[in-house]
Amino acid sequence: SETVERHEFGAEVGRLLELVVHALYSEREIFLRELVANAADAVDRRRFEALTDTSLAAPAEARLRITPDKEKGTITISDAGIGMSKQELAQHLGTIARSGTLAFAKSLTEAPADDKPSLIGQFGVGFYSAFMVADEVDVTSRRAGSEEAWKWSSDGKGAYTLAPAERADAGTDIVLWMKDDAEEFLDPWRLKSIIRKWADHITIPIVLVENGEETPANEGTALWRKPKSEVTPEQYTEFYRHVAHAFDEPWATLHWRAEGAMEFSALLFIPGEKPFMAVEDTRESRVRLHVRRMFITDQAEMLPNWLRFVQGVVDTEDLPLNVSREMLQSTPVLARIRKAVTNRVMSELKSKAKDAEGYAKFWENFGAALKEGVYDDAEQRSEIAQLLRFRSSSVEGWTSLADYVSRMKEGQEAIYFLAGDDAARLAKSPQIEGFRARGVEVLLLGEPIDAFWPERLGNFDGKPIRSVTQGVADLAKLGEAPAEEGADVAQLLARLKDALKEEVSEVRATDRLVDSAVVLSAPAHGPDLQMQRVMRRAGR
């Protein structure tokens, strides 16, 4: 008709559309995430504007409706949000507001395949993802506070049209005329599973409309935003299982809200069981970052690698929804949130460590990761040291460094350990005989990482941490050797040295042995025996 206006897209939009459609073909399902995100934003904005502009009624009901129609080959996404005026349709859907097209194009071609889907949202070009699955897109919208509705239509190939339309209330309907090869998305089950994956935590209810019947498609409540008193233990567990893809009960649940200098809500869990996929297999924290409830990414490394077993969500108001990759890496806002979240997990661990039996369960699952922290994290090193637990030559069960120090003999200056492949076997090693005989406790370290962290930690509570294989000088200071006298030791040593030649650098008499005849020893300065073993295995 005569009232239909035809407009060309800006040159940038044309290029962008081509890019989006081709670069993201294998990830087409994210069109739904983008359109649902826009609809949810629009509802939030309408609520917000209604706060200050009393002429705008808040939406009577906020739900988002998704209606697939197999016969027509369409999917319709409807919201009761802020809507768009004629100008806004032209401006928001016909031009690129932000001048980021070139940067986007560059990132999109250079990014690894896995990263591409998140780029599209980050660059604020989500709407155009509709053309990955649709031949044609119709947007009918009525701005809140206006009587007029307008229809925007395009096949995504260079031009769009604008025409007057009808709509009973403020809000937007987006009709996607699906491509022949995108018919899979007309299946309600498929739509539901995409919503569960990408938009489950949108607080606004999302319903799927089939034959006029509405079925809820998301849980609709951001559990982490609720006050603790309103969440049941069952709800926590269910949510934990959902985010962690786990089946156990969480060992710890941390739920808090930070207000003031930083604003965020966090709901974190420490699993009760070691996950089937060993923690060692995933190197980075997968805690999810949300901005105002909207899922942004699970690759923002919200926690240091050594806390990667922690699962859950951090949701902040302090970042824009279209937070970019660069921002995720460099913004001081996130750095502060990360630090606050890490400190909170640490204080929870410290408090739970007071219950020795309960803590042992955690330690057996994730202790090795904490030891990595001692190695990697200079800032938290001494804090983590308080959380370490060990097998010991003189007590049953697990012991801490602080407990060890409290049992130290008079005159004992160092904390002694023996590292090897198996703590039970270490308990019988001749390396510790001399210490045992003098009543000196030795910590038995049986994990691969144990070859590395003690040197980094250096000392605890002012006491140097020392391997028993590194020289024996200390033993003399630790009391009398209960050894036998009389044999011609010098002659024996000469013979042994002669026989072993280059195999050893020195043969010495020792007062560290009680039952055994000989023991291998490391030089006082240089790598200890377990470290030498590890280095040999690594071919160094």
User: Residues forming the annotated binding site for ATP?
Assistant: 34, 38, 79, 84, 99-100, 122-127, 172, 325
83-112 binders of ligand ADP (CB under 6 A): 83-84, 92-93
Residue 297 binds which entry of ligand ADP, Mg ion, none, CB below 5-8 Å type-dependent: none
Q: How far is the CB of 115 from ligand ADP (least distance, A)?
A: 17
Q: Which stretch binds ligand ADP (CB under 6 A): 5-13, 118-126, 281-289, 489-497?
A: 118-126
Which residue in this structure is represented by tokens 């042994």? 496
What gap in Å lies between CA 93 and CA 151, rounded to an integer? Answer: 12
Q: Does 34 bind ligand ADP (CB under 6 A)?
A: yes
Of 59 and 126, CB closest to Mg ion: 126
Of 79 and 528, CB closest to ligand ADP: 79
- For residue 314, list its beta bridge partners: 266, 289
Q: Which stretch binds ligand ADP (CB under 6 A): 79-87, 364-372, 447-455, 458-466?
A: 79-87
Backbone φ and ψ for 251, nearest 5 degrees, come out as -75, -35
Q: What mask of x and - would describe binding to ligand ADP in positions 315 to 354, judged by CB under 6 A? A: -------x--------------------------------
The residue within the footprint of Mg ion, chosen from 17, 24, 38, 85 (CB under 5 A), is 38
Of 126 and 156, CB closest to ligand ADP: 126
Q: Which strand (E) or helix (H) includes residue 153? A: strand 149-154
Q: Which of 189, 340, 346, 180 is nearest to 263 (CA)?
A: 340
Of 92 and 225, CB closest to ligand ADP: 92
* Pairing state between β 250-258 and 134-142: unpaired
Of 153 and 172, CB closest to ligand ADP: 172
Q: Does 126 bind Mg ion (CB under 5 A)?
A: yes
Of 81 and 420, CB closest to ligand ADP: 81
The residue within the footprint of ligand ADP, chosen from 56, 64, 66, 82 (CB under 6 A), is 82
Q: Which stretch binds ligand ADP (CB under 6 A): 25-33, 122-130, 198-206, 497-505?
A: 122-130
Structure tokens at 217: 């498609």
What gap in Å lies between CA 540 and CA 538, rounded to an integer? Answer: 6
Other C-beta atoms closer than 10 Å to the C-beta of 386 total 15
CA distances from 115 to 27, 298, 325 (A): 10, 11, 10
Annotated binding site: 34, 38, 79, 84, 99-100, 122-127, 172, 325
Q: Does 172 bind ligand ADP (CB under 6 A)?
A: yes
Which residue in this structure is represented by tokens 């009680």? 514
Structure tokens at 444: 């038995």
Q: Which stretch binds ligand ADP (CB under 6 A): 77-85, 188-196, 326-334, 347-355?
A: 77-85
Q: Does 129 bind Mg ion (CB under 5 A)?
A: no
What gap in Å lies between CA 349 and CA 470, rounded to an integer? Answer: 33
What gap in Å lies between CA 339 and CA 301, rounded to an integer? Answer: 11
Answer yes or no: are the C-beta atoms of 312 and 345 closer than 8 Å. Answer: no
Q: Which stretch binds Mg ion (CB under 5 A): 89-97, 123-131, 406-414, 432-440?
A: 123-131
* Pairing state between β 311-316 and 288-291: parallel
Q: How far is the CB of 339 from ligand ADP (least distance, A)?
A: 28
Residue 36, Ramachandran bin (φ over 0: left; ψ between -120 and 50: alpha; else beta): alpha
Of 233 and 320, CB closest to ligand ADP: 320
Other C-beta atoms closer than 10 Å to the C-beta of 448 total 15
Answer yes or no: are the C-beta atoms of 268 and 289 closer than 8 Å. Answer: no
Of 38 and 392, CB closest to Mg ion: 38
The residue within the footprint of ligand ADP, chosen from 13, 39, 149, 314 (CB under 6 A), is 39
Of 322 and 532, CB closest to ligand ADP: 322
- Greatest Cα pair distance, the chain, in angstroms, is 118
What residue ranges in 399-520 does DSSP mark as E strands?
A: 415-419, 442-445, 459-460, 463-467
Q: How far is the CB of 39 from ligand ADP (least distance, A)?
A: 5
Q: Does 79 bind ligand ADP (CB under 6 A)?
A: yes
By CB atoms closer than 10 A (0-12, 13-18, 19+), residue 262 is: middle
Query: What letter does residue 470 receive in the DSSP assignment?
Result: B
349-408 binders of ligand ADP (CB under 6 A): none
Q: Does 126 bind ligand ADP (CB under 6 A)?
A: yes
Structure tokens at 437: 């005989």
Q: How far is the CB of 418 from ligand ADP (least distance, A)?
A: 58
Structure tokens at 254: 């941390």
The residue ranges that bind Mg ion (CB under 5 A) are 38, 126
The residue ranges that bind ligand ADP (CB under 6 A) are 34, 38-39, 42, 79, 81-84, 92-93, 124-127, 172, 322
